[in-house]
Amino acid sequence: MNIYAMLQDKLQAIREEAVAAFKAATSSKDLYDQKVKYLGKKGSFSELMKEMGKLSKDERPKFGQLVNEVKNTLEDLFKELTDALKEKELNASLEDERIDMSLPGNRMRLGKKHPINMVIDELVDIFSRIGFSVRLGPLIERDRYNFEALNIPADHPARDMQDTFYIDEQHVLRTQTSPIQIHSLENESLPLRVLGPGAVFRSDYDVSHLPMFHQIEGILVDKEVSMADLKGILAYFAKEFFGPNVKIRLRPSFFPFTEPSAEVDCSCAVCDAKGCRMCGHTGWIEVAGCGLVHPNVFKEAGLDAEKWQGLAFGMGIERLAVVKYGVRDIRLFNENDMDFLGQF
């Protein structure tokens, strides 16, 4: 057999092989790989062309034309098969990614105010109606503001009433909102009515104590202020916050920064003072500490204790929220459990 016929056979064989391989391809990627294998730079046709040197001068263009024809048919076949495979692949992926509109979606939960902030907002609203305006003090306080200026000297046993987080010798995380009283007395003109809500810190943790909790402080200073004013304000607060039938009572107590001092009980709004779990079956719930501003506090703030009189009170926000909403464990307020928070 002459060389021309032999190369022609070879060409025919490659063609058949390539057509079979193209048709057998199951994906467009697979098909492309086959195309590279036969028609690519290092493919079967390139190999075959290398043998063209063995042909005579006039056989070469003839054979070259033959090779081009075969290549063109293969290119056409490749295009045709690629289109078909691509369409199949597209349909498959559309089918695959099909969205079932009847499936239930992911429920979006709306964010809401935290119950602690709801209570603070309500208290601010209640007290602003009788002339109090809000002041926020720093969370890190100098010892002087948290203790000294509130008539709690260094070795005073009252310091043991609060487990203090010390930052250093001079600074503490405030254990109470009472330091806001001192900032106001030092910086504002008198008379004044200030309400100070915010976070406070004590080293304590169980069902009824959190290391960070919230208080709200109130201070009113004027020329003539009495226990009657104090009781009137607290009675107004109790009715507005817990309901019109709620009564209050004051029990004598001790705080270094007030004299006299008292603890404030509200009649239990949960059982209408009949006695229940919330009030420990006493009909009363303790909600605040209060008193008349101690002369030493005025003196510490550089004010004339003969000229000015004041009343002050402090309440625990979590405590108010627990009573108002009937929450059993105050740690729930810090757990960010949407099911719990969503109930308010």
Q: Which of 248, 260, 259, 261 lies closest to 287, judged by CA?
A: 248
Please count the other Cβ atoms lying within 10 Å of the Cβ belonging to residue 9.
11
Give the contact letters, 291-310, x = binds to ligand DAH (CB under 6 A), - = no: x-------------------
Query: Which stretch in 20-28, 90-98, 105-113, 289-297 sits in contact with ligand DAH by CB under 6 A?
Result: 289-297
Q: Closest separation between CB of residue 161 and ligand DAH, Å?
A: 7
Closer CB to ligand DAH, 34 or 177, in the complex: 177
Beta strand spans in the chain (E): 133-134, 140-142, 171-173, 192-201, 212-222, 248-255, 258-267, 284-293, 309-316
Burial of 336 (0-12, 13-18, 19+ CB in 10 A): exposed
| Residue 164 binding ligand DAH, by CB under 6 A | no
The 3-state DSSP class for residue 301 equals coil
Q: Which of 105, 179, 100, 172 lies closest to 136, judged by CA?
A: 179
Bridge partner residues of 253 (DSSP) = 261
Exactly one of 137, 256, 289, 310 binds ligand DAH (CB under 6 A); that residue is 289
Measured between its terminal Cα atoms, the distance across the chain in Å is: 97
Closer CB to ligand DAH, 126 or 276, in the complex: 126
Give the contact letters, 307-326, x = binds to ligand DAH (CB under 6 A), - = no: -----xxx------------
Closer CB to ligand DAH, 7 or 311, in the complex: 311
- Token digits of residue 139: 């969370």
What is the sign, positive or negative, of the torsion defined by CA atoms of 211, 217, 316, 258?
A: positive
Residue 322 CA to residue 278 CA, distance in Å, equals 9
Q: Closest separation between CB of residue 331 and ligand DAH, Å?
A: 20
Which amino acid, 140?
I
Q: What number of chain residues touch ligand DAH (CB under 6 A)?
A: 11
Query: Which stretch in 54-62, 243-251, 283-291, 324-332 sits in contact with ligand DAH by CB under 6 A?
Result: 283-291
Q: Closest separation between CB of residue 268 and ligand DAH, Å?
A: 21
The 3-state DSSP class for residue 192 equals strand
CB-CB contact of 137 with 201 (8 Å): no
Q: Which residues inside 206-235 make contact with ligand DAH, applying CB under 6 A? A: 217
Closer CB to ligand DAH, 260 or 283, in the complex: 260
Q: Which residues inside 244-273 make contact with ligand DAH, applying CB under 6 A? A: 255, 258
Closer CB to ligand DAH, 164 or 258, in the complex: 258
- Residue number of the CB closest to ligand DAH reads 314
Residue 227 CA to residue 20 CA, distance in Å, equals 105
Q: Closest separation between CB of residue 104 and ligand DAH, Å?
A: 49
Give the contact letters, 165-204, x = binds to ligand DAH (CB under 6 A), - = no: -----------x-x--------------------------
Residues that bind ligand DAH in the complex, under the rule CB under 6 A:
176, 178, 217, 255, 258, 289-291, 312-314
